[in-house]
Amino acid sequence: MKPRLTIVAILGMLATAGAAAAGERLVAEFFPQRHIDLQGAWELPRFTGDPEIDSRMVARVRELELRLFIPPAFTSPPKQVSISLVLPAQIPGMRGTGGFEMSWTTRGRFREGSVRPGERALLFQGLADAPVLVDFMSFTYVIDAREMVGTLRVEPVYEIEFN
């Protein structure tokens, strides 16, 4: 039986330095709590002999309410916007930019997607018709344990721009 390795990912919800900037950064909060401690587990319960597979860990968080606070310039009057989720190129706790992927599903207001370090994904495109855009999201993190050097701190950035 594989030994169980515990990882803790702290999902910070405010904008962080170091991400490629394209739009205005948004304040974002998860509800009911801002920071989530995640426990990772090996993807497979037994060793296969393949280091690529045997080192893969998965952590999941289900059904968190994401609140994106939209500046008045985008909502008065309502304007067509694009909102991206940006994952910084360097994830604290990882050796480099490889070995990490974050994916998510939603209830429908936001788009589903995935990112790797240094990438951005379109999260919302449409009319910014409220000062707070809300959706429920579930996240999956896939981590190559060979690339871990400490506790992971995952802090995506949310950016908005006019269409």
What are the tens digits of pLDDT across the range 74-103? 999 999 999 999 999 999 999 999 999 999
Average of per-residue pLDDT across 6-15: 42
Give the pLDDT band of residue 14 (cuts 50, 70, 90). very low
Given this model, what pLDDT does residue 33 score?
80
**Nearest partner of 52 among 153, 154, 142, 117, judged by Cα:** 142
Using alpha carbons only, what angle is made at residue 120 by residues 7 and 17, rounded to the nearest 5 degrees? 70
CB 111 within 8 A of CB 105: no
Burial class (CB in 10 A: 0-12, 13-18, 19+), 40: buried
* Eight-class DSSP state of 44: S
